[in-house]
A and B are shown apart, each in its own frame.
Chain A
């Protein structure tokens, strides 16, 4: 009954954000609905990103893909090419997923076979105390913004 319980691949593209990537991957280990696979696309990082990914090998079914040519669309496509799931879910390396993220992502796909894309809420969390961040957060948290 593949249509009732599809497989989900999470793709994370990353570049030089090893510490933040660690938090992102950590949030994937705590999902109420476990991902069937995690594909991390290393877009030519120069830090210890590789080590971080390897450390998660026993906690997640993690696949490491190296993409030397920089560029977001290219990296995402590399992730898709290497993913095998029925659903491909993207999350950025500077994000942390809520515990029920994948649970809620899955629902519209399962319920309606005509749904092709599901987008979720991105809420902007404070990191430092800069005014630029404060400004950004106040103005962006009213909904995911269009540019």
Chain B
């Protein structure tokens, strides 16, 4: 009874340590602090990482038993000067280098993840399925992915002459697309709406493509998460 009650009186900032390296919590390097003793113990940043070094170090910390704490009152403001090109390049890079970090910390297996409505510093996905498998396969089930699968299916059915079924799936695709881009579409300024839709699509496409290519480079299949908070 004591043990059960304890959880209600903990501080809010303790992050639940996920055993799964693909969805464990981490902090962006722009605002993170370490205990020196812990760094000495687990070692510093992995210099082989191009990006994702922050994910890697938090995984090692958690693995060694250190607590990970999120304190939203410790705030920094971050400035951005981005162009469409740099945005796409940035997200491609994130996707491309994620597999290196995650495969470093997990054994081969088939893993499927679903999005949740939870908010926090990171990790808004939960494991749906995780089994041993001879090859690394990690798939994040996102609306973005669903959109493309439905569209592909609609096209395939049309090609095979099944026009009614194709129309049904086409309709479903449009529904998912509308739902997915609803925040952007609702803008009063049409130009801005179109820009946002394009940016969202391009950034996520870059993320996904980066992940596929980066994963392929390491001999795995990685169908990555998108950065939206749509649950």
Residues in chain A within 8 A of chain B (CB atoms): 8, 20, 71-74, 76-77, 80, 83, 85-92, 94-98, 100-105, 107-109, 112, 114-125, 127-128, 130-137, 139, 142-147
Pick from B37, B75, B195: contact of A123, CB below 8 A.
Answer: B75
B217 smallest CB distance to A (angstroms): 18
- B76 adjacent to A120 (CB under 8 Å): yes
- B68 adjacent to A146 (CB under 8 Å): no
Pick from A117, A125, A132: contact of B33, CB below 8 A.
Answer: A117
- A101 adjacent to B80 (CB under 8 Å): no
Once bound together, how far apart are the Cα atoms of A83 and B40, in whole Å?
12
Once bound together, how far apart are the Cα atoms of A117 and B39, in whole Å?
9
- A123 adjacent to B78 (CB under 8 Å): yes
User: Given A76-B53, A145-B122, does the pair A117, B200 have CB atoms closer than 8 Å?
Assistant: no
- B81 adjacent to A128 (CB under 8 Å): yes
- Hey, which chain A residues are within 8 Å of B121, CB to CB? 119, 143-144, 146
B69 smallest CB distance to A (angstroms): 4
- A87 adjacent to B74 (CB under 8 Å): no
User: Given A77-B45, A130-B83, does the pair A125, B13 have CB atoms closer than 8 Å?
Assistant: no
CB neighbors of A among B8-25 (8 A): 11, 13, 25
Does more than half of chain A's interface fall in helix, strand or loop, or is it mixed?
mixed
- B82 adjacent to A130 (CB under 8 Å): yes
User: Given A73-B49, A76-B44, A117-B61, does the pair A91, B31 have CB atoms closer than 8 Å?
Assistant: yes
- Hey, which chain A residues are within 8 Å of B91, CB to CB? 147
A111 smallest CB distance to B (angstroms): 8
Q: With A104-B74, A123-B76 given, can you name 16 additional A-B contacts, CB distance below 8 Å?
A: A73-B44, A87-B36, A92-B29, A95-B78, A96-B79, A97-B76, A101-B31, A115-B66, A117-B38, A117-B57, A117-B58, A117-B67, A120-B70, A121-B71, A144-B28, A147-B95
Once bound together, how far apart are the Cα atoms of A145 and B120, in whole Å?
8
